[in-house]
C-alpha cells in the first residue's frame, strides 16, 4: 500500500529518523526511538499479515529491526516487531469492524478491511480514546472514493449515520429549556441550541432502516451460532439488500440513555438545522418555509421539548 512521508506528515507524526539512536542520552533520543518504532508498527501489513520486508528507505526491514531490537533464541528482532505490528492492526480493525456494521454490510468484509487499512494508514489515531477512531472515516471516504466505489454515496451516508450513533451514545446532555423560559424571551432575540448528542442528517439513502436491518441480521446470526434450529433462519437472512436512493431527514439522538433515530419532514429538519446553526427562533421558524403552518410548528416544538432536545444557547 503506498504511503509517502508527506502523507505521514499530514497526520502530525513526524518523519522517522534514518537510524535508531545508539544511546538514549536526551529526550530527543527517546523521541527518535519512539517515532521510528511507531512508524514501523503502524505500517500496513503484507497480504500474509506480516511486517513489510522493506523499509521506506529501501533497506531490508530485518536490518532496521536489528539496529534497535534485541533478538532471542526463538525470535529475531524482525519477528518481535512483527508481533506488535500485527497486534496494532488486528486490534484496530476489530474495533472498527464492531463500530461499523452497516458500512461492512455495504462493502463486504474484504473490501471493508482494505478501506480501514487505507484509512488508518492515512489517518492514524490522534486521540487517547478508541471512541474517536472512526471520527475521520467519512472525510477519508470523500477524499479517496476508490476504496468504496461503486457504493461511495451509500457508504458516505452509512458512515455519517454510524458516527452519529457514537455521538448520541455518550455526548453531554445539557439542562433542558422549559416552555416558560422560551416564553420569557421574544422570538426575534431568542437563540436556542440542540443537545450535543443530537446529529441532524440529510441523507440520500434510507440508511436508518438499512443499518437497523443489518444489526438485526447480525444479532440473529450470533444467536444462531449455538442453536441448530436457528441456523436455517440465519442463512435465509444472510443478505440485507442495499437500499435504493431516497431523500430522508433524520435526527439521531438518545432518550433515557437509549439510542434512537427519528425521521423528520424537510421543514422540521430545516428549522432544527437553523437552531443548531445559532439563528434566532424567529429566523429558524422562517427557515422551515412559507408552507409551514403555525400549528404544525407548535406541535413540533412541543415534541422536541418533550424529548428534551432544546437548550439555551450560551
Residues that bind another protein (CB under 8 A): 11-14, 21-27, 29-31, 33-35, 37-38, 41-42, 67-70, 72-75, 77, 79-81, 83-84, 87-88, 91-92, 124-131, 168-173, 196-197, 254, 257-258
Give whichever of 156 and 165 is closer to another protein, judged by the CB atom.
165
Nearest distance in Å: CB 58, another protein: 22
Give whichever of 35 and 191 is closer to another protein, judged by the CB atom.
35
Give whichever of 83 and 227 is closer to another protein, judged by the CB atom.
83
Nearest distance in Å: CB 95, another protein: 9
Q: What is the C-alpha separation between 227 and 158, in angstroms, rounded?
A: 31
Question: 54: helix, coil or strand?
Answer: strand
Closest to 26 (Cα-Cα) out of 34, 36, 18: 34
Q: What is the C-alpha separation between 168 and 165, in angstroms, rounded?
A: 5
Give whichever of 93 and 276 is closer to another protein, judged by the CB atom.
93
Residue 262, φ and ψ in degrees, nearest 5 = -130, 120
Nearest distance in Å: CB 11, another protein: 6
Closest to 303 (Cα-Cα) out of 259, 270, 258, 272: 272
Question: 252: helix, coil or strand?
Answer: strand
Nearest distance in Å: CB 304, another protein: 18
- Please state, in angstroms and as integers, the Cα–Cα distance from residue 236 to each residue in 65, 80, 172, following that order: 49, 44, 41
Nearest distance in Å: CB 181, another protein: 21
Give whichever of 255 and 277 is closer to another protein, judged by the CB atom.
255
Q: Exposed, middle or buried, 208 (CB in 10 Å: 0-12/13-18/19+)?
A: buried
Give whichever of 77 and 106 is closer to another protein, judged by the CB atom.
77
Nearest distance in Å: CB 194, another protein: 14
Q: What is the C-alpha separation between 231 and 237, in angstroms, rounded?
A: 10
- Please state, in angstroms and as integers, the Cα–Cα distance from residue 183 to each residue in 194, 240, 285, 307, following that order: 18, 48, 15, 18
Amino acid at each position: 500500500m503506498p504511503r509517502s512521508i508527506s502523507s505521514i506528515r499530514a497526520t502530525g507524526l513526524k518523519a522517522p529518523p534514518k537510524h535508531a539512536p545508539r544511546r538514549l542520552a536526551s529526550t530527543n533520543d527517546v523521541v527518535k526511538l519512539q517515532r521510528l518504532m511507531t512508524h514501523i508498527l503502524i505500517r500496513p501489513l503484507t497480504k500474509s499479515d506480516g511486517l513489510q520486508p522493506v523499509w521506506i528507505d529501501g533497506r531490508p526491514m530485518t536490518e532496521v529491526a536489528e539496529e534497535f531490537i534485541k533478538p532471542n533464541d526463538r525470535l529475531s528482532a524482525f519477528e518481535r516487531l512483527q508481533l506488535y505490528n500485527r497486534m496494532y492492526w488486528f486490534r484496530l480493525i476489530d474495533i472498527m469492524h464492531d463500530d461499523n456494521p452497516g458500512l461492512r454490510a455495504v462493502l463486504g468484509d474484504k473490501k471493508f478491511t482494505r478501506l480501514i487499512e487505507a484509512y488508518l494508514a492515512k489517518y492514524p489515531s490522534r486521540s487517547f480514546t478508541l471512541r474517536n477512531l472512526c471520527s475521520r472515516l467519512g472525510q477519508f471516504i470523500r477524499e479517496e472514493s476508490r476504496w468504496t466505489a461503486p457504493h461511495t454515496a451509500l457508504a458516505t451516508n452509512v458512515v455519517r449515520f454510524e458516527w452519529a450513533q457514537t455521538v448520541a451514545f455518550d455526548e453531554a446532555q445539557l439542562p433542558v429549556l422549559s416552555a416558560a423560559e422560551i416564553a420569557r424571551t421574544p422570538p426575534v432575540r431568542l437563540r436556542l441550541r440542540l443537545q450535543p448528542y443530537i446529529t441532524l442528517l440529510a441523507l440520500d439513502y434510507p440508511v436508518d432502516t438499512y443499518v437497523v436491518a443489518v444489526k438485526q441480521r447480525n444479532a440473529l446470526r450470533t444467536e444462531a451460532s449455538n442453536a441448530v434450529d436457528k441456523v436455517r433462519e440465519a442463512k435465509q437472512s444472510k443478505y440485507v439488500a442495499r437500499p435504493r436512493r431516497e431523500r430522508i431527514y433524520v435526527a439521531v439522538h438518545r432518550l433515557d440513555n437509549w439510542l434512537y433515530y427519528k425521521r423528520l419532514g424537510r421543514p422540521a429538519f430545516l428549522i432544527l438545522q437553523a437552531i443548531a446553526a445559532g439563528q434566532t427562533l424567529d429566523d429558524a421558524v422562517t427557515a422551515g418555509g412559507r408552507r409551514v403552518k403555525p400549528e404544525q410548528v407548535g406541535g413540533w416544538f412541543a415534541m422536541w421539548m418533550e424529548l428534551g432536545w432544546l437548550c439555551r444557547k450560551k
